[in-house]
Structure 1
């Protein structure tokens, strides 16, 4: 009986000591700091996330740290080009414990070298349609996206339409689960085309275009 009781105490101690803790914070800027919090069951890793929105000379970066499901980890950043100097990027680095202190930047320098592909591009508010221009894709951007929906920030709904170049990983990204609402009325991806060649028709895509916080950044930047 004494052995069983001791074993129970030992197992309870091991279980309590194995709970994952991650730093939790979100701030505007290249880094953030916050308290250590115990992760909910099923969240097996810590994550450092960066969201960047750029319009010509204006640039906003928000850094987040939190507990994550391991299936949220992405090897490569997502980049998007809306044309007219408007770009948006998201990156995630997963880590645990001391490794988070020396983790690499989730958003390495952007590859701005044209890759020979192009897409229709535009961004507009208060409409589900926008006047298209053509933008040259860069780096790993091999897909064209076409999205329209209604973003709700607080109690104010905002219709938006967006098109441009993106990475393939964005077209297969899991749907976001948190943040303010975006009711999607159109979300499609297609392979980007070479100049002078007709692109394939848009095909429905199952992902959500922008993580909620990044959508908020983009709306604030363009307002």
Structure 2
């Protein structure tokens, strides 16, 4: 009986290893393409991913990142994540595929068309770069497109190769903290405070 269980355990391990997917693994913190080595994702992973990120401060040019690799659990619930506050916008798009090296080569993922049309939702707004101690609202911001909830974040994030403390309030297109994405490549280095609340429309909650 013991010998049978040993053989069965070996076969399960062999099958799991044999089913592991192979993905290209790379990152570029200042661009929209990257190339890297093919890696074995190991048991339990059956998808590759490409993640693209755009960060924009005021009228400055956008900063782009791209990440490729094995799909990170938990799988994101929103393949097109967006947030905005005073003088800052952030977008992240995630694409999955399920065959060996399907994420290899030139980036085939792009952002959905930007929707900057106000949607009638209003959120408290503040932006305190350089501080992770929070910030008090300094007025409100008109949300746009699919962003219909309010966000309050304090912590540290990575812009390019640099890590910055930051605090802000603004709009986001998720409805709860549980939907906050699993950001790749240590984009979010530390979360000290994260709140997702309902937006308001002419004084009424959405």
TM-score by length of 1: 0.69
Give the match for residue 33 of structure 2: 31
Give the match for residue 182 of structure 1: 190
Give the match for residue 20 of structure 2: 19
Q: Please, which runs of 5 or more residues in structure 1 have no aligned partner?
A: 1-10, 201-223
- Which structure carries more relative contact order (alpha carbon 8 Å, separation 6+)? 2
Give the match for residue 54 of structure 2: 52
Give the match for residue 216 of structure 1: none
TM-score by length of 2: 0.74
Q: 1:152: how far off?
A: 9.2
Q: Please, which runs of 5 or more residues in structure 2 have no aligned partner?
A: 1-11
The 3 A distance-change label for structure 1 pair 45 and 140 is same
Structure richer in helix, relative to its length: 1
Mapped to 1, the partners of 2:13 and 2:154 lie a distance apart of 51
Backbone CA RMSD of aligned residues: 3.4
Which of the residues 195, 200, 203 maps onto 1:193? Answer: 200
Moved over 4 A (4+): 11-17, 101-104, 150-153, 156-159, 174-178
Residues 154, 168 of structure 2: 8 Å contact kept: yes
Equivalenced residue count is 186
Give the match for residue 148 of structure 2: 142
What CA deviation, in whole Å up to 9, does each residue of 1:51-92 have, x standing for no partner?
1100123210101100014642445311001123x1001111
Are 1:65 and 2:71 counterparts?
Answer: no
